[in-house]
């Protein structure tokens, strides 16, 4: 079959974005847009692409769920022995991307990560469904596994081990907060004339806002 990818196109006509529509604070603007996307009923509104870079400068991406916004920081959780965690330990720079196709919007966030406290991680971990807690114990994230059955065997072992009482927090499981220094809001526009606004944090803590060419 011959692929005709160059013929796949559509126009973006759902809205425009002007400077006077923006909050002075990008996190407040993000929360407004997130709520609007959630109101559509679209699945996985908090799904975000997380980009990290290894010691050789090789970028890597994966989908992670945003779990909280605290004091202007974006929070997510992960296995601390995963590829992303190992790369963040050497290079704390990170980029997040929210692709809200249904409403023709995107948000890109650049910042630095800091590990969350054990108390914060434990509080969230204990709020998860028990099966998700067991899955954290069963999966050595990012490590090779020969078959899915081997993974399911690990899950069964964890289920048996922690059959009674609460599932304890694994030492290898944690979370991060992302402190942004750059945030971009993208609204699709007709004829590829998209609206883009970039927030950049200044030394005095204020945010500079500028429109970017599409």
Annotated binding site for substrate: 9-12, 67, 124, 128, 132, 192-194
Q: Give the annotated binding-site residues for FMN.
A: 62-67, 77-78, 83-84, 106, 141-142, 186, 196
192 is catalytic: yes
Q: Output phi, psi for 105, to 5 deg.
A: -135, 155
By the 10 Å C-beta count (0-12 exposed, 13-18 middle, 19+ buried), 5 is classed as: exposed
- Cβ atoms of 196 and 185 within 8 Å: the answer is yes
CA distances from 79 to 85, 137, 171, 207, 213 (A): 7, 9, 9, 33, 38
Q: Give the annotated binding-site residues.
A: 9-12, 62-67, 77-78, 83-84, 106, 124, 128, 132, 141-142, 186, 192-194, 196
Identify the active-site residue in 19, 32, 192, 211. Answer: 192
Sign of the Cα torsion 110, 111, 114, 116 reads negative
What distance in Å separates the CA atoms of residue 126 and residue 133, rounded to the nearest whole number? Answer: 8
SS3 (DSSP) at 52: strand
What distance in Å separates the CA atoms of residue 159 and residue 77, rounded to the nearest whole number? Answer: 21
- Those residues whose C-beta lies under 8 Å from the C-beta of residue 72, and which sit 6 or more positions away, are 25, 27, 179, 180
What positions carry a catalytic annotation? Answer: 192
């Amino acid at each position: 079959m011959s692929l005709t990818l160059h013929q796949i196109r559509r126009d973006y006509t759902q809205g425009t974005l002007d400077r006077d529509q923006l909050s002075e604070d990008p996190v407040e603007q993000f929360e407004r847009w997130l709520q609007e996307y959630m109101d559509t009923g679209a699945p996985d509104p908090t799904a975000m692409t997380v980009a990290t870079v290894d010691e050789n400068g090789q970028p890597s991406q994966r989908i992670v769920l945003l779990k909280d916004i605290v004091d202007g920081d974006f929070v997510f959780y992960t296995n601390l022995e995963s590829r992303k965690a190992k790369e963040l330990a050497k290079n704390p720079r990170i980029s997040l991307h929210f692709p809200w196709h249904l409403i023709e919007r995107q948000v890109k966030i650049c910042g630095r990560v800091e590990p969350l406290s054990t108390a914060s991680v434990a509080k969230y971990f204990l709020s998860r469904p028990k099966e998700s807690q067991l899955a954290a114990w069963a999966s050595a994230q990012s490590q090779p596994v020969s078959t899915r059955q081997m993974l399911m065997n690990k899950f069964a072992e964890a289920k048996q081990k922690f059959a009674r009482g609460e599932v304890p927090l694994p030492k290898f499981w944690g979370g991060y907060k992302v402190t942004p220094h750059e945030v971009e809001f993208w609204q699709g526009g007709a004829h590829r004339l998209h609206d883009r606004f970039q927030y950049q944090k200044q030394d005095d803590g204020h945010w500079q806002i500028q429109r970017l060419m599409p």
